[in-house]
């Protein structure tokens, strides 16, 4: 049992896959999610300045409020500071400079921003798995490859058994998000959830509320909504197969990307953080080997010319 | 970190994800981010397919214009929570607060807040909408 556990979570690795995922996570947070999908600094400050304060403070806000009272004028500065830290630490995590410290700061800043936004009565799911992955980066050798740290310290020799568990744990969390969602639908509504009317209703509301004309058009086709509901349920239920059946991964991950694209353009529900994190299922050693072979080939050719 | 510590950490993360799902069956809605239940949109619907959407408009001396989250300076969910839902429920204080906020941001007096409520219904013959408008006079400033 213990041997199987260790084989699953702690296989030997050179850390390349983790490094690529670190770059994708930090890069997407910096260039996509912070500027376009997450609540902006001025929107955070509007929440702070609104009378009444926190509605349902998240645990992180409750902790902070014990140090800085909720009505203190310091909160706008805390928000601006968190954004500055997120951007600075995002860059250093991306390039792998003091990687784990940078990832810790990026985690703190991101968690602060999401928790603050979610302390006024409504908390949302899209940042959850990405935020946890950032935490995993702080606890693992995430700067071992493709980093300034590796360049300055010399490329580490050999393999490590600590560079795969963050990827595996993120895989499990992704599978959990889909599977528990499907299970909740089946437990609360049974197969009725796939009657087509459920999706028509959700799509009709979201398309009108958030201005998605494509959703309004699709919602008018009951048969199509039945098919999309069955496809959604099947995808969410089957996603855990990606953990254990490597051959199923390509189909499931492509379905997932398509699922999130359709959700975004019909209902304005953006879960692209999960799509970016699909990278945790990838094996980047193949492409790297080919790239190295290509580069080595060029170098040998150059050497021949010099001779 | 040793393997034992990592193992404990992994188990803790997984357990913390299972707890909110289990607790939901007792009726509790967890708010311990990042450990939340994932059962969004889990309730089924039956016909008729019908929904109600709201649009907020503001009347100023220059005319009437639509009010979106960016006008109030809030993110879209916060705007819906603070203004759209209460005003749709007839809360004139929320309408007054919004009028004051818009007046400050636009630097022009806001005379009235209008709530446009549209009930959209799908039927076999297509979609149908019924629109009503409610007025909320802005309190004098």
Q: Give residue B37's pLDDT.
A: 84
Do B53 and B18 have their domain in common? no
B31 CA to centre of own chain:
17
Mutation pick from B41, B77, B97, B104 vs chain A, by most beta carbons of A within 10 Å, is B41
Do B67 and B126 have their domain in common? yes
- What residue of B is the nearest CA neighbor of A107? B34
ipTM of this complex prediction, to 2 decimal places: 0.89
Q: Give residue A244's pLDDT.
A: 93
Q: Give residue B70's pLDDT.
A: 94
Do B65 and B80 have their domain in common? yes
Profile chain A (307 residues) by mean pLDDT over runs of 10 residues. 92 95 97 93 93 88 91 93 98 97 98 94 90 98 94 81 96 96 92 95 94 95 96 97 95 97 96 96 82 62 41
Do B64 and B120 have their domain in common? yes
- Locate A174 and state its tokens: 């992704």
Contact assessment for residue A167 and residue A17, using Cβ atoms and an 8 Å cutoff:
yes
- Arithmetic mean of pLDDT, B95-102: 94
- What residue of B is the nearest CA neighbor of A200? B49
- What residue of A is the nearest CA neighbor of B127? A220
- In terms of pLDDT, which residue wins out, B38 or A306? B38
Domain count, chain B: 2
Helix (H, G, I), strand (E, B) or coil at A251: helix
- Residue B33 to residue A188, Cβ atoms within 8 A: no
pLDDT-derived band at B71 (thresholds 50, 70, 90) equals very high
- Residue B126 to residue A220, Cβ atoms within 8 A: yes
Do B38 and B77 have their domain in common? no
Do B23 and B71 have their domain in common? no
Do B77 and B122 have their domain in common? yes
Do B24 and B70 have their domain in common? no
Q: Give residue A53's pLDDT.
A: 83
Q: Give residue B114's pLDDT.
A: 96
Q: Give residue A155's pLDDT.
A: 66
Q: Give residue B34's pLDDT.
A: 92
Do B63 and B126 have their domain in common? yes
- Measured in angstroms, the CA of B59 and the nearest CA of chain A are apart by 21
Q: Give residue B60's pLDDT.
A: 94
Contact assessment for residue A85 and residue A109, using Cβ atoms and an 8 Å cutoff:
yes
Q: Does the pLDDT of residue B141 top 70, yes or no?
A: no
Query: What is the extent of the structural domain holding B6?
Result: 1-43
Do B21 and B80 have their domain in common? no
Do B4 and B61 have their domain in common? no
Q: How many residues are present in chain A?
A: 307
pTM equals 0.91
Q: Give residue B111's pLDDT.
A: 94
Give dist(CA B43, CA A205) in Å, integer: 14
Which residues of chain A have a CB within 8 Å of the CB of B9? 139
As a whole number of angstroms, the longest Cα–Cα distance in chain B is 69
- Residue B33 to residue A118, Cβ atoms within 8 A: yes
Mutation pick from B42, B91, B126 vs chain A, by most beta carbons of A within 10 Å, is B42
Which residues does B141 contact at the CB level (< 8 Å), separation at least 6? Answer: B100, B103, B109
User: How many other β-carbons are positioned within 10 Å of the β-carbon of residue A79?
Assistant: 23
Long-range contacts of residues A160-163, Cβ cutoff 8 Å, at least 24 apart: A160/A12, A160/A13, A160/A14, A160/A15, A161/A10, A161/A11, A161/A12, A161/A13, A161/B3, A162/A10, A162/B1, A162/B6, A163/A13, A163/A14, A163/A15, A163/A17, A163/A18
Do B35 and B79 have their domain in common? no
Which residues does A53 contact at the CB level (< 8 Å), separation at least 6? Answer: A70, A71
- Residue B44 to residue A125, Cβ atoms within 8 A: no
Element (H, E) at A63: helix A59-67
- Residue B34 to residue A131, Cβ atoms within 8 A: yes
């Amino acid at each position: 049992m213990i041997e199987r556990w260790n084989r699953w979570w702690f296989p030997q690795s050179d850390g390349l896959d983790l490094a690529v995922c670190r770059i994708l996570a930090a890069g997407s947070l910096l260039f996509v999610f912070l500027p376009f999908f997450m609540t902006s600094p001025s929107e955070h400050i509007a929440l702070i300045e609104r009378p009444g304060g926190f509605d349902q403070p998240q645990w992180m806000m409750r902790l902070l409020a014990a140090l800085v009272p909720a009505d203190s004028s310091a909160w706008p500065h805390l928000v601006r500071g968190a954004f500055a830290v997120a951007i600075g630490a995002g860059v250093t995590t991306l390039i792998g400079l003091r990687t784990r410290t940078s990832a810790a700061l990026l985690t703190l800043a991101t968690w602060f921003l999401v928790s603050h936004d979610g302390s006024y009565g409504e908390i949302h799911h899209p940042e959850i798995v990405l935020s946890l992955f950032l935490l995993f980066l702080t606890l693992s050798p995430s700067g071992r490859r493709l980093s300034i740290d590796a360049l300055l310290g010399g490329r580490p020799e050999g393999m490590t058994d600590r560079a795969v568990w963050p990827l595996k744990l993120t895989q499990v969390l992704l599978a959990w998000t889909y599977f528990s969602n499907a299970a909740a639908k089946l437990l609360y509504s049974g197969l009725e959830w796939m009657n087509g009317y459920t999706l028509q209703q959700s799509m009709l509301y979201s398309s009108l509320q958030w201005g998605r004309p494509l959703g309004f058009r699709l919602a008018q086709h009951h048969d199509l909504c039945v098919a999309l509901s069955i496809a959604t349920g099947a995808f969410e239920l089957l996603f855990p197969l990606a953990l254990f059946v490597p051959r199923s991964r390509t189909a499931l991950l492509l379905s997932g990307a398509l699922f999130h694209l359709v959700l975004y353009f019909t209902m304005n529900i953006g879960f692209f953080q999960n799509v970016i994190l699909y990278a945790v299922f990838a094996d980047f050693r193949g492409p790297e080997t080919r790239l190295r072979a290509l580069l080595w080939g060029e170098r040998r050719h150059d050497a021949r010319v010099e001779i | 970190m040793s393997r034992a510590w990592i193992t404990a950490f992994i188990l803790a993360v997984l357990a913390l994800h299972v707890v909110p799902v289990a607790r939901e069956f007792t009726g509790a809605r967890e708010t311990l981010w990042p450990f939340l239940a994932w059962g969004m949109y889990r309730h089924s619907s039956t016909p008729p397919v019908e929904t109600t959407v709201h649009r907020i408009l503001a009347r100023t001396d220059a005319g009437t214009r639509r009010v979106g989250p960016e006008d109030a300076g809030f993110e879209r969910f916060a705007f819906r929570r603070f203004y759209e839902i209460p005003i749709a429920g007839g809360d004139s204080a929320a309408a007054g607060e919004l009028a004051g906020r818009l007046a400050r941001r636009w630097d022009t007096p806001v005379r009235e807040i209008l709530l446009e409520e549209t009930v959209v219904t799908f039927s076999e013959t297509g979609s149908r909408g019924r629109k009503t408008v409610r007025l909320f006079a802005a309190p004098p400033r």
